[in-house]
Amino acid sequence: MNKPVLPVSSLSLRLPTADRSIETYRLAASRTFPAKLQGTLNRVAFSAAHVVADPLAECDPWLTAAVDWDRTIAFREHVWDLGLGVAEAMDTAQRGMGLDWPTSLELIQRSVKAAKARGNALVFSGAGTDHLAVEDAKTIDDVIRAYEEQIAAVEKAGGRIILMASRALAKLGRNADDYAKVYNRVLSQVREPVIIHWLGDMFDPALANYWGTSSLDTAMDIAVGIINANATKVDGVKVSLLDKQREIDVRRRLDKNVKMYTGDDFNYAELIAGDDAGFSHALLGIFDAIAPAASYALSRLAAGDAAGFHDVLGPTVPLSRHIFTAPTRFYKTGIVFMAWLNGHQDHFTMVGGQESTRSTLHLAELFRLADKAGLLANPELATRRMKTLLSTRGVES
């Protein structure tokens, strides 16, 4: 049987290929998604949102985070319009890779204020220990105090908490008792239930052996035990291991009042759809790049149109797997590149100079996959900007 032929547009450009040749790529016909939520949602869905850098600030980009606050908050307005929540000051915002704690706190304060102005739009914010240098963390009590400081600051701003994984705890925690001491103490003090984030070392190598063990099976036992023991203080758990079966296993073991938020940017469509035993909600970096499609797909799922959900979200998965390819921690470059292609910012500059972490070939393939998934909101603009980038990297249109 012949494969269906994708409709094409009149737009084309020259893109580099893996064999060092240049091909003429013709774009598919564009696909339009609503700019605002249509209908309702039956999943809680967060986009972990990026920050927009200020490219004209006089600073040393590797050392100082210069943020365009107006564009950064405008992007969150875009996410809220689509019925999604914002997961603020997380790794997608380059937390720990260019965004320090003082700037993260200002981001949280501004985002919470903007959310309240909209009638309490959904926003949870990252609280961790990143103001405590790993080399300065000497004891488990140091880790606890660092968590307490950031939690107090977020709560003072009126924010809800995502309890981030701690590099300092990964260094000092030796066993289940160490992790239980930290999480039990911290969770006992939070004002409202939090989302716990288990971030795998593919996203941050400094988090290797989290939960005090190199065995993921043992780590699951420890994490589930601590979470279920504190279920009244836990809204949900975000698992970012890029391993769908482990997420499903954890999901099935959680207290019935604790949500699972998928952080699996490789398998999110099937995890959100779920099975007879349950489903995952979503807290995803990829939802930054595909927010309109994600919103529409989730609205179709809520309307009972599973086929429509998969028709929209399925084609986004190859793009996500490409953006999050190893080294996975550099995925933020693809997220911001998509924001630039789609007109949410007028430059491809990132905090910390992170726009340099992906190759020209990587970005060219990203463009192809975004086009095939119908994710280029304005194909003419995206094509023009792609040509501009390529010309700076030695590929003439």
What are the tens digits of pLDDT across the range 332-369?
A: 999 999 999 999 999 999 999 999 999 999 999 999 99
Task: Judge whether 192 and 233 are in contact, CB under 8 Å.
Answer: no
Q: What is the pLDDT of residue 306?
A: 97
Q: What is the pLDDT of residue 2?
A: 45
Q: What is the CATH number of the domain that holds 138?
A: 3.20.20.70
Spatial CA neighbour of 313 closest among 345, 347, 346, 289: 289
Q: Which two tokens stand for residue 45?
A: 């869905």
The set of residues, in sequence order, having a beta carbon less than 8 Å from that of 365 and lying 6+ positions away, is: 322
Q: What is the pLDDT of residue 63?
A: 87
Q: Nearest 10 degrees: CA dihedral of 224, 230, 235, 238? A: -30
Spatial CA neighbour of 106 closest among 351, 366, 367: 351
The reply to whether 335 falls in a domain is no
Total count of domains within the chain: 1
The reply to whether 382 falls in a domain is no
The reply to whether 66 falls in a domain is yes
H runs (alpha helix) in 230-305 = 244-253, 268-273, 286-289, 291-302
- Residue 161 pairs in a beta bridge with 125
Per-residue pLDDT of the chain (397 residues), as tens digits, is 444 455 566 899 999 999 999 999 999 978 999 999 999 999 999 999 999 999 999 988 888 899 999 999 999 999 999 999 999 999 999 998 999 999 999 999 999 999 999 998 999 999 999 999 999 999 999 999 999 999 999 999 999 999 999 999 999 999 999 999 999 999 999 999 999 999 999 999 999 999 999 999 999 999 999 999 999 999 999 999 999 999 999 999 999 999 999 999 999 999 999 999 999 999 999 999 999 999 999 999 999 999 999 999 999 999 999 999 999 999 999 999 999 999 999 999 999 999 999 999 999 999 999 999 999 999 999 999 999 999 999 888 6
Q: What is the pLDDT of residue 61?
A: 86
d(CA 317, CA 299): 18
The reply to whether 135 falls in a domain is yes
The reply to whether 102 falls in a domain is yes
The enclosing H or E element of 276 equals none
- Domain range for residue 119? 41-328
| Distances from the Cα of 174 to the Cα of 128, 148, 168, 193, 360, angstroms | 19, 21, 12, 26, 42
The reply to whether 167 falls in a domain is yes
Spatial CA neighbour of 363 closest among 193, 11, 344, 371: 371
The reply to whether 377 falls in a domain is no
The reply to whether 312 falls in a domain is yes
Spatial CA neighbour of 108 closest among 137, 76, 79, 144: 76
Buried/exposed 83-105: b ≥16 CB within 10 Å, e otherwise: bbbbbbbbbbbbbbbbbbbebbb
